[in-house]
Structure 1
């Protein structure tokens, strides 16, 4: 019987492949649920940054607050949102000069992202009730799956999980930097969130390609790329505009050598671009949208005037007031 941790893993594949056993990373969303299963890059939110060419305010919402606190803010009235946002602004303002610079905003967004990763790891770590400072593979495997490979008979219905165990083990070995077959808490962070560590990035690429590359030729075709995002729920259904946009993205940007396929390096550039800083880009966007006097920085008043941009979810109506007020 799989424990509750495994059930959550099997619900969706939040890190990199549809059937990986360790699905606890942040993911990049796409319009269908199947696509919300792997990490494409170090995004700040589980929301799309743009939808049909329009900026998605929910992305800003999560980038500023974090995933869990963003949900809490959705329950606040506009007045309460502004009050709590004001307290956050004071924390952003490191030098206490009354203005939020691009650097301060960028550092706050990075802090929120790091906090999510650390909290997620802390929550998982506690579930193993360790008597030492390290987690061993057999303990992880037994606790996660409730059985080992040796327990599986050829016709055992649990045999489907064998591939998951193999892939978990490969990621485990990559995260185990000192090769002692144990994971420290720092190594466990890399295991759960491989997109956060340079030495884990090839695992992110490998797992993603294994999932998308249906014909197993070691490359991702346009059909595989689009098919992973959209399958069309109804026969004869017209292709949405966003899918047409993705086709153009593939041809113009993803497939750099124009051979109709994405190889390992091209997939890596897609998933983990080295020349793009999400925190900086988001900070620039928020300043551009909120900087009323165009001085290149934000006052508390300018931020509160645009409180809906920073904390107002467009997807959820304001409801009951939040009961706890100490998340920050």
Structure 2
């Protein structure tokens, strides 16, 4: 596996200097080793589960459709949990629109992509699958592009780490303000006289996130820290920290495992639940544990199972988002959304993961 990673990485970064390639290769080897040591069985079981699902694909297709319309009064999350099958082959391609498209055009475009059976209505399943596609595509792309962007920024000097000055220069060069080189290299960072309000606010947010991502060095970011800075939702180390937070909060007997009782009876505030991406409803949380966390059904959840659970690519994020959108926008209570219902709540949808995926993730993580 390590050889395959190194080979792929060399092909992708053949033009990058050796001073950048070597630290990155060692980093990838280190991360692979740590994950294999920490989760010796978790990823194998996930792979086995994936193969099992593919072998039973035809049977699941029919059962999924039967379950999707049953239990209308069970609650959106529990109903979907009973037949979870977010298969890659059923996803639509990502949304591509021009920057100056108006909100209604954007919503109509996304609606058409999500409406897989072209009946003019979005079910919770269609909506969740479309959102899940966008999440998966975004995270996979972020991880693949991270070394490339890192190398583009790591210039002064090219030493395998990125300083704030290097990132600040990169930020200014990529603004659509046509700033000249002299201004970029010599301006007063405290004033930013040529930046508009939107650019200033974005830079301030980046500065705050930069400070949060620093760990090994008080001034510069490593490759993984840079991924956590740019896309915290895609960083394995960030997700591992979230797993530790869940264990620290709910693991009352200190055995590094969670039971359904610990997960549902340990007191947690709404702020705790929001930080850990957990439901406030204890019955929904119990269903989450049994259907989405405890994959091997042994009554306990280890770190590998929790890591899969907190990964934004897990279908629960998309299901929860879809359920929330339908609950807020479904005016005729048919558990489906028309394009008129979506346009009627255009501010809600434009600010949701249905459209504004990156902004949502950066606010959550």
User: What is the TM-score normalised by the length of structure 1?
Assistant: 0.33
- Quick check: which one's helix share is greater? 2
User: What is the TM-score normalised by the length of structure 2?
Assistant: 0.30
